[in-house]
Structure 1
Amino acid sequence: MKKLLSLVLLTAFFVGNAQETANRFFYELTFKPKKEAETTEKVMTVLDITKDKSIYRDYTILAQDSILKVQVEAMQKSGVFKDLSKSITQPKFAFKVRKSYPSMKYTYSETISSGFTPIEIGYSDDAKIVWKIDASAKQNIGAYKTQKATADFGGRQWTAWFTNDIPLQDGPYKFSGLPGLIVKIEDSGKNYSWELKGNKKIENYNEVPYIETISFGGAPKLTEVSKEKFEKTYNDYKKDPFATARPMLKPEMLSQKMPGSDVTIGEMVKQKEKMLKEFYESNNNPIEIETAPAKSGK
């Protein structure tokens, strides 16, 4: 009977076309961007769940979809170029974590550039987090009745509170494998703390943000590599994001002005380099301070 009830509840989350419907769970993330920081920052993140997978990411860009669409349509109508990067609030985190159902195998990815073309690289892993469930520890968090579980992961000790009311074995970031959705999870040092703040159903769901659909080259396709290759490629990119594009930037090109703007291509490149450098230097306190080798990849 309990298994039947769970199946009924799970089915209720995905009424209609599974390819076009998603349930979005909003997690407020409180974190310390710097190891030595005494203050914390907050950002809203989302876990989008469809019938056969989930994707976790920063909500900042997604939240600006409708505003950016209006600005782009205005540019198209006027024929005047506008540097949208000045009006876009940049995310605190650029990574994505996708999980496949029911295996819960995950893929961690980052978007970088090859020349001027955005590419998404990532690695997969099917390693399971080993949880210890404390049947005696329960508490209400918001509207949810939750139960306590603990685990060691990524060099930190984590305490999670999950609810059987939502029979989805998922949660923010790479966290999964509990008999219910994670409502709250934080490490012992309170460097990272997620708490579920709400959820909504999205009809005609599209995983790709609007800004990516209109970007040069379109939305990047995910390329899976080994974890070792991913880490080397990503670390090299962070040190010099324009390394692959610089040989293409000839002096005569750098002096040209952007269409409909007084800003030259060279000035725009410098602005982008500064922005990316600040982005990658803003957080020296990663979620995982130790990582285990991935079991799969190419």
Structure 2
Amino acid sequence: MKKLFSVFLIALFAFAGAQESKETANRFFYELTFKPKKDSAKVDKVITILDITDKNRSIYQDYTVIAQDSIMKIEMEAIKKSGMMRDFSKSLKTPKISARIYKSYPGMKVQYVDKIANGFTPTNIGYSEDLKFNWNILSDKQKIGEYNTQKATTEYGGRKWTAWFTADIPFQDGPYKFYGLPGLIVKIEDSDKNYSWVLQGNKKIKDYTEFSYIESLMQASGGKVNELSREKFEKTFSDFKKDPFASVRPMITQEMMSKSIPGMDGTVGDMMKKQEKQYKDFYNANDNPIEKDQATDKKKK
């Protein structure tokens, strides 16, 4: 049963990528403002991070889980002392973004990675792109926060983008998949303002790891990435979103489903239903993807 409980913790908190390794990194904090629903004016905000490491790579991800490491340490200590499970969802915020995006220097191969369940094992799936942005660098300049920036435009994913970059920070990188300007991207948004990233600050990270305390504790990195074609990735991930526990359900007996969980309300079956709803709520919360043309392509198929 311990293995089963671990899977639910992993499912709720773990969106990890590669195995732990000692690095240093420059961490850049971007506030992402976005419209999760196409037919709504409602906007949402989340802090995301771009970590550029000394091992010739960068990792972009939601900062929510990592930001809650101190809370998780307190929760885990309480579990150790009491010997009872606790429902972490009552004290933690849910991330807005589950994927991680890796870029490798200097060639800037872009890898998009997300996690699915494979039985009781979290599995990383992803696809890679040799992505080249056709930037049009303009003479317009603007002060954004403390940064002196210059304007550039491009088209990607069915959207027109305007970026402001600073040559004062000599990384040719940026949030999400964006890169390739002669300096770090400070701000980038599409013409309809569905997605907008603005750099809020940065700091140096020693003994850097790309995953959070709970991911490390649960050994929930998901192992090596299973590389798929983009089409196969989209199909596999779409199937997972429709039925997150499809690979787990056949492995759980009715007897296991009816067992109560010490320290938590309800049975294993109740917890599965709750987790399944959380999964579906998470994935159904956004029908306005960054890459708009990908959603259009799906509808045509």
| 1:77-103 deviations in Å (ceiling 9; x for gaps) | 221111223322111111110100111
After the TM superposition, which of the residue ranges 158-167 and 221-230 deviates more from structure 2?
221-230
Check if 1:57 corresponds to 2:61: yes
- Residue equivalent to 1:11: none
Cα distance in 2 for partners of 1:23, 1:121 equals: 26
| 1:16-66 deviations in Å (ceiling 9; x for gaps) | xx9431111000000000001112111110001102100001111110011
The structural deviation recorded for 1:269 is 0.1
- Residue equivalent to 2:109: 105
Check if 1:220 corresponds to 2:222: yes
| 1:227-275 deviations in Å (ceiling 9; x for gaps) | 1211110000011111111111211110001234342100000000110
Check if 1:197 corresponds to 2:200: yes
- Residue equivalent to 2:179: 176
- Residue equivalent to 1:279: 282
Check if 1:78 corresponds to 2:66: no
Q: Secondary structure at the match of 1:88?
A: coil
Cα distance in 2 for partners of 1:73, 1:226 equals: 42
Check if 1:252 corresponds to 2:255: yes
Q: Secondary structure at the match of 1:85?
A: helix
CA RMSD of aligned residues (A): 1.5
- Residue equivalent to 2:15: none
- Residue equivalent to 1:89: 93
Cα distance in 2 for partners of 1:35, 1:109 equals: 24
Cα distance in 1 for partners of 2:134, 2:22 equals: 31
Cα distance in 2 for partners of 1:269, 1:201 equals: 40
The structural deviation recorded for 1:206 is 1.1
Cα distance in 2 for partners of 1:139, 1:208 equals: 35
Aligned partner (choices 152, 155, 179) of residue 152 of structure 1: 155
After the TM superposition, which of the residue ranges 189-198 and 69-78 deviates more from structure 2?
69-78
- Residue equivalent to 1:241: 244
Cα distance in 1 for partners of 2:48, 2:42 equals: 19
Which blocks of at least 5 consecutive residues in structure 2 are unaligned?
Answer: 1-20, 296-301
- Residue equivalent to 1:14: none
Aligned residues: 273
The structural deviation recorded for 1:214 is 2.4
Cα distance in 2 for partners of 1:227, 1:67 equals: 36
Q: Secondary structure at the match of 1:165?
A: coil
- Residue equivalent to 1:167: 170
What TM-score do you get using the length of structure 1 for normalisation?
0.89
C-alpha contact (below 8 Å) 2:38/2:288 kept by paired residues: yes
Cα distance in 2 for partners of 1:55, 1:172 equals: 9
The structural deviation recorded for 1:193 is 0.2
C-alpha contact (below 8 Å) 1:19/1:50 kept by paired residues: no
- Residue equivalent to 1:127: 131
C-alpha contact (below 8 Å) 2:22/2:209 kept by paired residues: no
| 1:102-155 deviations in Å (ceiling 9; x for gaps) | 111110011111112211110011121110101x21111011110110000000
- Residue equivalent to 2:232: 229
Cα distance in 1 for partners of 2:123, 2:169 equals: 35
The structural deviation recorded for 1:291 is 4.0
Cα distance in 1 for partners of 2:101, 2:265 equals: 39
Which blocks of at least 5 consecutive residues in structure 1 are unaligned?
Answer: 1-17, 293-298
- Residue equivalent to 1:67: 71
